[in-house]
Homo-oligomer: A and B are copies of this chain.
């Protein structure tokens, strides 16, 4: 069994996603089709990157993830397919959406190709100038699923190798002179948790009595939401390994006015800080 997952910023109401699914089902009926999400904010490559980062690693090897968030559709940006660590396949525009499957987040660059061989497109002679999701990415994902099901996946047939995929800039957290680490909000999730770029290892370094400062407030770093009272602010290491500012049973982002880019500082409160 092989699944083609779909991640887009299309919403579903217009029928664009339905067209992509139909193309896949027409080319390779054995492939399953499953939605990761179609609710990525329009052209928000970073948000899509984080969503993929939270989902893709949990799928079985040989899954094809087709992600179409494409500010540059119709321009000269590349269309790509890649093989990431753990045997996950990625298909989509080279818009930066696969940033978190590249170094320094992985040990090595994924094997990648540019989708120049038009014989794998829906209509080699007339790919729509506006809808590459339907005309390029869905067909390539389906053909790739077929090769995987037949035990012969070969990216090289789709086009020439790509040395390095595009990345978006992921801001780096820094160690502060006076002690502690300064990061920033990367992303606010559905529950109003503000995911930061402060990695779990720094939280461990900061020690057991760490506090976080964000939005003008200070809050304890705890193991889980229920370590604080309902309505209280806290910081926890989220499920993807980054420090998150949270509010138990509430929205930290609206309480603190947090949005991507706002500073978050992690400080130790005791002598246990070190390393």
Point out residues on A near B: beta carbons under 8 Å: 1, 3, 5, 7, 10-23, 25-26, 29-30, 33-43, 47, 50-60, 63, 71-76, 128-131, 134-135, 187, 189-191, 223-227, 236-239, 249
Give the residues in chain B near A40, CB-CB below 8 Å: 13
Give the residues in chain B near A237, CB-CB below 8 Å: 130
Contact A72 B226 (CB under 8 A): yes
Would you list 5 pairs from A and B whose C-beta atoms are within 8 A, ordered by A residue?
Answer: A15-B36, A15-B37, A25-B59, A33-B34, A129-B236
Closest chain B residue to A13, Cβ basis:
B39
Contact A16 B130 (CB under 8 A): no
Contact A239 B63 (CB under 8 A): no
Give the residues in chain B near A131, CB-CB below 8 Å: 238-239
Say how many copies of this protein the assembly contains: 3
When chains A and B are docked, how far (Å) is the Cα of A72 from the Cα of B20? 31
The answer to whether residues A226 and B74 also contact, given A17-B37, A36-B18 and a CB cut-off of 8 A, is yes
When chains A and B are docked, how far (Å) is the Cα of A8 from the Cα of B110? 33
Contact B189 A19 (CB under 8 A): no
- From B33, B41, B52, B130, A15 is in contact (CB under 8 Å) with B52
Give the residues in chain B near A20, CB-CB below 8 Å: 58
Give the residues in chain B near A130, CB-CB below 8 Å: 224-225, 236-239
Contact A249 B15 (CB under 8 A): no
Give the residues in chain B near A227, CB-CB below 8 Å: 74
Give the residues in chain B near A190, CB-CB below 8 Å: 10-11, 13-14, 16, 42
Contact B73 A224 (CB under 8 A): yes
The answer to whether residues A224 and B74 also contact, given A34-B33, A58-B134, A129-B236 and a CB cut-off of 8 A, is yes
Contact B19 A55 (CB under 8 A): yes
Give the residues in chain B near A17, CB-CB below 8 Å: 36-37, 55
Contact B19 A54 (CB under 8 A): yes
Contact A43 B5 (CB under 8 A): no
